[in-house]
Structure 1
Amino acid sequence: MRRILAFAACALSAMTLTACTNDAPNTTTTSSAAATQQGSGSTSEGADLTFAMVTHSAQGDAFWDIVKSGGEDAAATMGVTMTYQADPDPAQQSILITNAIAQGVDGLIVSMANPDGLKEAITAAVDAKIPVITINSGIERYKEFGAMTHVGQSEELAGETAGEQFKAAGKKRMICVIHEAGNIGQEQRCAGAAKTFGGQAENLQVDISDLASAQNTITAKLQATPDIDAVFTLNGSITSAALKSIGDASSSAMIGGIDLDADVVSAIKDGSLAFAVDQQPYAQGWLPVVFLKQKVIDAMDTGGGQPVYSGPLVVTKDNVEQIADAIQRGKH
């Protein structure tokens, strides 16, 4: 695993960041950079390759914008074409995958928030000899579906890490805010947090596509249950909503979350947010494109069947300055 992670780090450190994006909602294409990058054998070798990234992102989700950006930048650097499409409905996501197979893509990158809902489409890609890499969600089942590797973090470990932070602070009652119904990865995060927290823990369901409603739901829960002293959020936008809820409910609960954006970084700096567990989404977009090109061109099977971890990294007031610039640029 050290060799795998070392390779991943090298791949990230070698990035040349250029991209061309399409403004169509939830869909983008990165054009081949082979024609504009002189003297690079690696780019010219991939000029005819097209990889499809299909995720479960809701439109406008800032986290997935970073993942997409990582993939776009990698495609431009590696001289391949990458298409991006997303739909939070597993049935619709499966259709997008099936369409990519029909178009004859050379590789497929898929997030598996709902593995059972995507199984038929993903196995069809594998049967068609299209190399598949799963990202973000689905670490426990990617092998079952025939994917070559998974790039992401252990969701349960990320949750356990958060639970330990709350426990160390002496908190006794925690809510874990799930923002995508049926997302197995979020359920695993909450289960992991409850495991190490040791106190009373329960899940609270909200909808990320309606942040105002999500904020109201969190506020109402805090008002109805004033002894809640820990709030665990699983997305940067939901973290920001929860911070507002704390004020609205006049609560003194400690907030910790998963994922970083500029607002989350500011909240860590000013102390209103205790910590964030960073899964480094840019790497989740960048690395699969690199790995797929190596698979198709050089028959390299990066990962050796094992996952390539992109996190977790705990960010607190003590270390936030070290990565704040990269986060501000959307490269973390």
Structure 2
Amino acid sequence: MARFRTWVGIALAGTLCVSLAGCSSTGGKRAEDARKAAAERGKSAVTTPRWTFAMVTHSGDGDTFWDIVQSGAEEATAKDNINFLYSHDDEAQQQAQLVDAAVDKKVDGLIVTLAKPDAMKAAVARAVAAGIPVVTVNSGSAESRAFGALTHIGQDETVAGQAVGEELNRRDRTNAVCVLHEQGNVGHEQRCAGLAETFDGRVQNLYVTGTNMPDVQSSLEAKLQADPDIDAVVTLGAPFADTAVKAKRAAGSDAEIDTFDLNAKVVAGLADGTLGFAVDQQPYLQGYEAVDLLWLYRYNADVLGGGKPVLTGPQIITRDQAAELAEYTRRGTR
């Protein structure tokens, strides 16, 4: 497999390979076959206690990124003999109420995102006070430890933004638009701020209503028409990359479209040159490792990270790696 440019240490990559029961396709297939065989026999893959873990995210309806996170979590729960409860809401107050509901159910472990940490602080505190171990995932790495979580799993959003800025420099871009599709999401702000830190050119933030794709397209189209010197558009989620491509065409712009996160369309766009590059934070791994780390804590009082986030990205993915990833995006794990 070709090397990916990655900011994740080789030592961590080795650790994660072990955690995922082997990095070879053969080993992965054996593990999958074993899990399916156990399920078909009506038996658990393990004989440890049957704990209940809840995951509560800030996902909106139909967000394919979170489908991948959930898929990873469900794979780990099948292996670890976990009863898994998943819920989500893109409104922070509603998400906090879902956390409260999980606490009321006296779950054995909680996985939560902190896209809007101020709104989530009290709910997470109630979980910790109730003796429920908490792992944060994806968003809120800066607040995770202060809120009492065991660890945080995801990418450092500022570092990810910095990686994008440096990649744009390598591509000789000079005028970039960073498209923020969810106002108030601290991770999104950190990505664009990190981009501005390392990018040698100009960065403009464009706020759009991410739940309204026609609005996203028209807003970006207007921006590109108003400033024909824009030569790079960075979207902060895979579903928005395709919309950005449509806006570019409608505006008659020559800007390169780049994006955070992967899905099948993004990989196809990388392969045919419609997209320049993508930033992968490995959402499947975030869900999988969150469950595994809670299980390890319940089973053996193990904690990873040493008080620091467990990083799953960023990886800069270009056309050179697109063919390698197509298999995984088709099956919904990348």
Same fold (TM over 0.5): yes
| Other-structure match for 1:89 | 91
Which residue of 52, 56, 59 maps to 2:54?
52
1:112 equivalenced with 2:114 (yes/no): yes
Q: Which amino acid aligns with 1:213?
A: D
Distance 2:98 2:260 in 1: 28
Distance 1:314 1:168 in 2: 12
Q: Which amino acid aligns with 1:255?
A: I
Q: Which amino acid aligns with 1:109?
A: I
Q: Secondary structure in 2 aligned to 1:91?
A: helix
TM-score (norm 2): 0.90
| Other-structure match for 1:8 | 16
The count of corresponding residues between Structure 1 and Structure 2 is 315
TM-score (norm 1): 0.90
Deviation at 1:9, TM superposition (A): 2.2
Q: Which amino acid aligns with 1:157?
A: V
Deviation at 1:299, TM superposition (A): 1.4
Distance 1:109 1:46 in 2: 19
Select between 246-255 and 303-312 the one with higher mean Cα deviation. 303-312
| Other-structure match for 1:217 | 219
Select between 151-160 and 293-302 the one with higher mean Cα deviation. 293-302
Distance change (3 Å), C-alpha of 1:123 and 1:33:
farther
Which residue of 192, 200, 204 maps to 2:194?
192
| Other-structure match for 1:239 | 241
Q: Which blocks of at least 5 consecutive residues in structure 1 are unaligned? A: 19-31
Cα deviations across residues 144-203 of structure 1 (Å, max 9, x unaligned)?
A: 101011110010111111111111222111110001110000000000111111211111
Distance 2:311 2:161 in 1: 15
Distance 2:209 2:281 in 1: 21
| Other-structure match for 1:36 | 42
Which residue of 267, 270, 276 maps to 1:268?
270
Q: Is the 8 A contact 1:46 1:293 kept in 2?
A: no
Q: Secondary structure in 2 aligned to 1:277?
A: strand
Select between 224-233 and 299-308 the one with higher mean Cα deviation. 299-308
Distance 1:318 1:75 in 2: 34
Q: Is the 8 A contact 1:72 1:286 kept in 2?
A: yes
Distance 2:119 2:281 in 1: 24
Distance 2:176 2:320 in 1: 24
Which residue of 179, 182, 186 maps to 2:181?
179
Cα deviations across residues 103-126 of structure 1 (Å, max 9, x unaligned)?
A: 000000001101111000111111
Deviation at 1:220, TM superposition (A): 1.1
Distance 1:266 1:2 in 2: 28
Distance 1:69 1:238 in 2: 21
